[in-house]
Structure 1
Amino acid sequence: MNGMPITVKRSIELLGLCLVVCIIVLGQNIIMPVLMAFFISIMLLPIYRFLKKKRFPEIIAIVLPILFVFAFIGVIIWFFYAQISFLVSDFPEIKRNVNLHLTSLSKWISNISHYSTKEQIDLITQKSDDLLALGNKTAGSALLGITNSFVFLGLLPIYIYLMLFYKDILLRFIFMWFKPEQHFKVKEAIYETESMVKNYLVGLLIQIIYITVLLGGSLYLFDIKHALLIGVIFALLNLIPYVGALIGNIIGVLLTLTSSQDGWQIVTVLVAISVVQFFDNNILMPRIVGSKVKINALMAILGVFIGGSVAGISGMFLSIPIIATLKIIFDRSEIFKQWGALLGDERPNLSPMSFPIFRKKNKIAASEDINKEVN
C-alpha cells in the first residue's frame, strides 16, 4: 500500500466510499437497526455497569435499561395519541378556519393577479385529483413503510440486548484487526467514541425535555391551542440537525393556522420558536453536549441530506454520530487522516495557499516549520 502512487490510493478510497454507500442503500433495512442499536447500547453502558456493580445478574442488568428506553418511547407515543385525538375532536372548527383562510388567500390572489376565484377553484380541484391519484399509488408504499417501522422497533431491543451481552467478543474482534503496538490508539478511539456518543444522545434526550417545556409552556401561557403538541413535534424534529427545525416551524404555523383565525397567534408561535431555538443553539446545547461532536457545519448538513436520501429519517438522525465516529477513527489513522481534517471544525490560523506547511499531516512538524517561515 505504501508503494502505490497517490492517485491509485485516492482512487481506491473513493471506490471504497462508493461501495459502502451502495451496501447501505441495498441493505438499509438490516444496517440501520444495527447502527441504531449500537449507539443506544453505548448510551446504556453506564446504567449496565452501575447495575453490574450492584451485583445484579447480567441478564437483568441488560434488560432493565432496555425497558427504560422503550418505556420512554411508549410515553411519547401515548402523548401523541392523546394530542391527535384532541386535534381530531376539533375537526369542525379546523375545517371552518381552513375555509376562512383559503377564502382570504383567494381574494388576495385575485387582487394581485388575473386569476379569478372560479379559475383558482378549478386549479385546486385539478391538483386535488392529481394528489388523490398519487395518494392511491403510494398507499401501498406507505403501508410497507409502516410495516418496516414495526419490524425496526421489534428488532431494536434484540440487537441492543445481544450487543451488550456480547460486547467483549465485539471488542476482541476490533482489537484483532490491529497489531499489538497499535492497540493503545484503538483503545483511545473506543473510549472517545463512547464518550462522544453518550454526551450526544443523552444531550438530545435532555434537549427534547427542555424544548418541550420551554416552547409548549410559553405557547400555553399565550393561550395557543395545541401548545404542547407543537412543542413536542418541534422538539423531536429538532433532533434532525438543520432540516428538522425548519420543518418544525412550518408544522407549528400550520397547526396554529388551522386552530385559529387570529394572525397574532401565528406571529407568537414564530417568535416563541425563534427565541427557544436561539437559547438552544447558543446557550443550552453547547453546555450540555460541549465540544464532543467536532464536525464542521458543511459536512454536517451534507451528512444529513445524504443520510436522508440513503436511509430515510433514521439516516438523517444517525448521520451526525456516524460522521463524528468516523472522524475519531480517521484522526488516528495515517492513511485516512486527510478525511478527518475534512470532517473537523479546526480551521488553520493561516491559509494553506500562503503557508504550504499547513498542507502537511504532522501538526508538530508543521508548527516548527511555521515558526521558521514566519521568522
Structure 2
Amino acid sequence: MSVKIKDQPFYIQSTAVLFGLILLVYVLIQLADILVPLAFAAFLAILLNPLCNRLQRYKIPKGISIAIAMLIMILCVATVFYFLSTQIIQFGDSLPTLQKKFEEITIDLKNWIQGTFGVEITKQEQMLKDALNNSQAILGRTVNSVLGTLAIIFLLPVYIFLMLFYKSLILNFLYEVFSEENSKKVSDVLSETKTAIQSYIVGLLIEMIIVAAMNSTALILLGVKYGILIGCIGAILNLIPYLGGIIAIALPVLMATVTKDGYSTQLGVIVAYIVIQFIDNNILVPRIVSSKVQINALMSIIVVLLGNALWGLSGMFLSIPFVAVLKIVFDRIDDLKPWGKLLGDNIPTHHKGDLWRSRNRRKAVLPSKEPIIKKP
C-alpha cells in the first residue's frame, strides 16, 4: 500500500521538500558546465524560433532556415563587439597616461589618509597588499567564470542549431511525458513560456540600446573621456537587475577622477546616472521589458543573488527568465499557486489575517440568535 507524501505530517513533508531542494541544488552546481550553455541555448533558440518559422514559410529547408537565423544573430553580435573593440583600442592608447595620473591620485590619497587618520604610508601599503592577497581567490573564480563564458560561446551555436532542428521532437516529449488530461495545461505553459522569454529578451535588448545611448550622451556632455565605451559597458552591466546599475556608476566616476581636476564632474555623473536609472526603472522597464509575467522587486533581488551563488555571472543573467518560467508553471498547478503569487507583482490590498480577524470581531459583536424564553 503506497502512502502519499501530502498525507504525512507537516514535519515529514517539510523534511522531504528540504532534502529535495538540497539534492536539486547539488545537481545544479555539479552539472553547471553542462546546464549553463544549455540554458542560454534554450533561451536564444526560443528567441530565434519566430525567424526560423518565417523563413520556412518561404519554402526554405529547415536546416538552411536555422543557419540563416543564426548567421543574422552572429552578425549582430559581431557588429557590437567590433564597435566596442574600436573604443577599447582608443582606451589602450591612453592607458600609460591614465596610469600615471592614477598613481599621482593614489599618492595624494595616501598622504591625506596619513595626515587625517595618522596611518603610516608603509602600513597602508601593507594593508593594501594583504587585501590583494585575499582577493586572489576571487580573481581565480573570475578567471574561471571568463573561461566558462568562452566555452559557452563555442558551444552555443551547436546547441541552438540542434534545439531548433529537433524542436518538434522536444515538444512531443513534453506533451507525452504528461497524461493526456493535462495536455491543455502543458500547451498553456509552453505558449506562455515562449511569449514571456521572447518579450523579456527582446525588451532587454531594446532597453540596453536606449540606456547605452543615454549613458553615452550624458558622459560626452559632461566631458568624461571614453564616454561611449563606458556608457555601453554601463548598459551591459544594467542587464543584471537592480545590482548592475549601481556597479555601473563606479566606472565613469573613477574615469572622471583620473582625468579631471575637482569633483564637479563626478557629482554630475552621479546625478545623471540617478536620473537615467529613474527613467529606466519607471518608464523603460514597465513599458518595454515587461512581459505577461511580472516578478516583484524583492524576489528579483533574492533570485539574482541566489543565481550568482549558484552559477556566478551566468546565473545572474539567467535567474529572472528562469523564475518567470517557474511562475508560469506555478500558476497552472493548484498546489503551487501560492508560490506563484509570492513571485508575482500583484500586491493584495488586504491580507487574509486581517479578513480573519475582522470576521471574528463581527461574530463577537452580533447578538446571539438563541431564542428568548419568556417567564410566565
* TM above 0.5: yes
- Is the 1:97–1:257 Cα contact (8 Å) retained in structure 2? no
Distance 1:97 1:293, change over 3 A: farther
Partner of 1:248: 248
State the match for 1:366 in structure 2: none
User: For residues 5 and 335 of structure 2, what CA distance do their matches in structure 1 show?
Assistant: 9
2:224 touches 2:252 (CA, 8 Å); kept in 1? no
Structure 1 residues 240-275: Cα deviation after superposition (integer angstroms, max 9, x where no partner)? 111111111112212222232342221222122111
Pairs within 5 Å for 1:87-236: 87-115=91-119, 119-120=120-121, 122-130=122-130, 133=133, 144-236=144-236
Report the AA paired with residue 203 of structure 1: G
SS in 2 for 1:285: helix
Cα distance in 1 for partners of 2:78, 2:297 equals: 33
Q: Structure 1 residues 256, 238: closer, same or farther in 2, change over 3 A?
A: same
Q: Is the 8 A contact 2:241 2:301 kept in 1?
A: yes
Could you tell me how far 1:305 is from its partner in structure 2? 0.5
Compared with structure 1, are the counterparts of its residues 242 and 143 closer, same or farther at alpha carbon in structure 2 (3 Å cutoff)?
closer
Amino acid paired to 2:94: D
TM-score for both structures, normalised by structure 2: 0.87
Alpha-carbon distance between aligned partners in 2 of 1:259 and 1:80, rounded to the nearest angstrom = 21
SS at match of 1:224: coil
Aligned to 2:301: 301
Amino acid at match of 2:8: P
CA distance in 2, matches of 1:148, 1:290: 30
Hey, what does 1:365 align to over in structure 2? Answer: none
1:25-48 Cα shifts (integer Å, max 9, x gaps):
111110011011111111111111
Change (3 A) 1:259 1:3: closer
Query: Hey, what does 1:5 align to over in structure 2?
Result: 8
Distance 1:3 1:312 in 2: 35
Aligned residue type for 2:37: P
Identity %: 34
Match of 1:364 in 2: none
Q: CA deviation at 1:316?
A: 0.3
Greater Cα shift, 34-43 or 214-223:
214-223
Which residue number corresponds to residue 49 of structure 1?
53
Distance 1:105 1:135, change over 3 A: closer
> 1:131-171 CA distances to partner (integer Å, 9 max, x unpaired)?
56567777766654443222211111111111111111111
Separation of aligned partners in 2, 1:138 and 1:96 = 27
Which amino acid counterpart does residue 4 of structure 1 have in structure 2? D
SS of 1:44 mapped into structure 2: helix
- The SS at the match of 2:7 is coil
Moved more, 306-315 or 169-178: 169-178
1:36 aligns with 2:40: yes
Q: Is the CA contact (8 Å cut-off) linking 2:222 and 2:269 kept in structure 1?
A: no
Indicate the larger mover: 140-149 or 151-160: 140-149
Q: Distance in 1 between matches of 2:37 and 2:294?
A: 25
Q: Which residues of 2 match residues 281-292 of structure 1 at below 5 A?
A: 281-292=281-292
Aligned partner (choices 74, 77, 92) of residue 81 of structure 2:
77
Match for residue 263 of structure 1?
Answer: 263
Q: Given residue 23 of structure 1, which amino acid in structure 2 is its aligned partner? A: V
Alignment correspondent of 1:363 = none
CA contact (8 A) 1:239 1:317 kept: yes
Hey, what's the Cα distance between the residues in 2 that align with 1:138 and 1:285?
Answer: 32
Contact 2:196–2:293 under 8 Å retained in 1 = yes
Which position in structure 1 is the counterpart of 2:371?
Answer: none
Structure 1 residues 245 and 137: alpha-carbon distance in aligned structure 2, compared to 1, 3 A threshold: closer
- 1:352 corresponds to: 352
> Whole-Å Cα distance in 1 between the matches of residues 338 and 277 of structure 2?
33
Whichever of the two has the greater Rg, that structure is: 2
Further displaced range: 145-154 or 239-248? 145-154
Deviation at 1:298, TM superposition (A): 1.5
Match for 1:58 among 58, 62, 71? 62
> In 2 relative to 1, CA 136–306 (structure 1 residues): closer, same or farther, beyond 3 Å?
closer
2-structure distance, mates of 1:3, 1:17: 17
Alignment coverage as a number of residue pairs: 357
Structure 1 residues 197 and 2: alpha-carbon distance in aligned structure 2, compared to 1, 3 A threshold: same
Q: How far apart are the structure 2 equivalents of 1:340 and 1:132?
A: 43
Q: Which runs of 5+ in 2 are unaligned?
A: 367-376
Aligned residues: CA RMSD: 2.5
Mapped partners of 1:331, 1:307: distance in 2: 22
Secondary structure of 2:240's aligned partner = coil
